[in-house]
């Protein structure tokens, strides 16, 4: 594989590997690392946190020893990690990898982070405590879905990206609109700058399900396997620290929120399992919505046209052909 292509203006090559949760993209990235001169960069808003291991499907210590990933375990769960911080960290890592004569391979499912690289970051107003307090008070009275409906009136593009209970981004969207009179999505377009495409020849591919029912089955099986591996004990350890709470981004991560609610006595075991699986399926649905309208993206399907589940070697061969 060429490290830079004259057709790409002589820019160094980079690979973006996306896909919904439980699609197998991490396994594919590690397989690609056996065949290409790549170094892996995680694009995942949960994997950045130390101690969020089982529930985030973090690669095992053995896998990380063989296939090191940058931007894993770089934050304490008490911190809030942002798309802007990810962009800075990822660009630094990409530069170091390219300077060493290798190819950065960014793999993950946090689509907002990929977009931050491709579109740059808008200069948005700082948080306003008074407006946030008012929005949060309304959420207490009316619920976040009602505020999501309000966001859909002023910024339908942003609202379409968000689950009705995605409190942080709903709040930010309404706050920015209150402060500027403009939708956050419009400000991003107006102020986007310094795309990674100006500096790298980026190949983008996604590992996709042809049948969503198969993905749902994989999600359910993976969640059950996480429980067997001690996921609830992992959350119990986080909760026992005493300095973490459900409003932190780490604890709001899919699965962690539901396990925390179980430990708080708000959900029964069966309710927690059902809610965790449902939340993961909703995450996959949002990821697929992003991917359907993602520009310049090549899709690799986990199933053949006749519904047969493809072998890992077949998927790897197609990915290598695309990246050649």
Structural domains in the chain plus CATH codes: 10-121+193-323 (3.40.50.300), 129-191 (1.10.20.140)
Does position 6 have pLDDT exceeding 60, yes or no? no
Q: Encode pLDDT of 78-114 as tens digits.
A: 999 989 899 999 999 999 999 999 999 999 999 999 9
- What pLDDT does 249 receive? 93
Nearest to 89 by CA among 77, 106, 109, 76: 106
- Token pair for 206: 């996604």
- What pLDDT does 195 receive? 85
Nearest to 223 by CA among 246, 254, 200: 254
Q: Encode pLDDT of 215-251 as tens digits.
A: 999 999 999 999 999 999 999 999 999 999 998 999 9
Q: Encode pLDDT of 267-305 as tens digits.
A: 999 999 999 999 999 999 999 999 999 999 999 998 888
- What pLDDT does 10 receive? 82
Return the bridge partners of 112, or none: none
Mean pLDDT of 50-54: 98
Q: Encode pLDDT of 189-223 as tens digits.
A: 776 567 898 899 999 999 999 889 999 999 999 99
- What pLDDT does 285 receive? 95
- What pLDDT does 81 receive? 93
What mean pLDDT is reported for the chain?
93
Number of CB atoms found within 10 A of residue 193's CB:
10
- What pLDDT does 304 receive? 84
Mean pLDDT of 34-42: 98
Q: Which residues contact 204 (CB under 8 A, 6 or more apart)?
A: 15, 16, 18, 294, 296, 297, 298
- What pLDDT does 4 receive? 44
């Amino acid at each position: 594989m060429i490290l830079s292509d004259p057709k790409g203006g002589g820019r160094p090559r980079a690979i973006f590997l996306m896909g919904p949760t439980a699609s197998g993209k991490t396994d594919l990235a590690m397989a690609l690392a056996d065949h290409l001169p790549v170094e892996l960069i995680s694009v995942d808003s949960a994997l950045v946190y130390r101690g969020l291991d089982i529930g985030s499907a973090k690669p095992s210590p053995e896998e990380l020893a063989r296939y090191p990933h940058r931007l894993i375990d770089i934050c304490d769960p008490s911190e809030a990690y942002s798309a802007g911080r990810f962009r800075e960290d990822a660009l630094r890592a990409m530069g170091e990898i390219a300077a060493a004569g290798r190819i950065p391979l960014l793999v993950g499912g946090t689509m907002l982070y990929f977009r931050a690289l491709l579109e740059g970051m808008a200069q948005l107003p700082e948080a306003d405590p008074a407006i946030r307090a008012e929005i949060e008070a309304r959420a207490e009275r009316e619920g976040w879905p009602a505020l999501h409906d309000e966001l859909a009136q002023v910024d339908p593009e942003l609202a379409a990206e968000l689950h009705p209970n995605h409190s942080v981004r709903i709040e930010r969207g309404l706050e920015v609109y209150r402060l500027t009179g403009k939708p956050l999505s419009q400000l991003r377009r107006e102020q986007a700058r310094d795309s990674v495409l100006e500096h790298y020849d980026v190949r983008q591919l996604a590992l996709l399900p042809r049948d969503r029912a198969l993905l749902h089955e994989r999600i359910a099986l993976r969640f059950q396997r996480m429980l067997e591996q001690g996921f609830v004990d992992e959350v119990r350890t986080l909760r026992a620290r005493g300095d973490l709470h459900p409003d932190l981004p780490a604890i709001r991560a899919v699965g962690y929120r539901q396990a925390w609610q179980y430990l708080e006595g708000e959900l029964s075991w069966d309710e927690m399992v059902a809610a965790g699986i449902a939340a993961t399926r909703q995450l996959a649905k949002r990821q697929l919505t992003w991917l359907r309208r993602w520009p310049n993206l090549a899709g690799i399907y986990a199933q053949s046209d006749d519904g047969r589940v493809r072998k890992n070697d077949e998927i790897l061969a197609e990915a290598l052909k695309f990246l050649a």
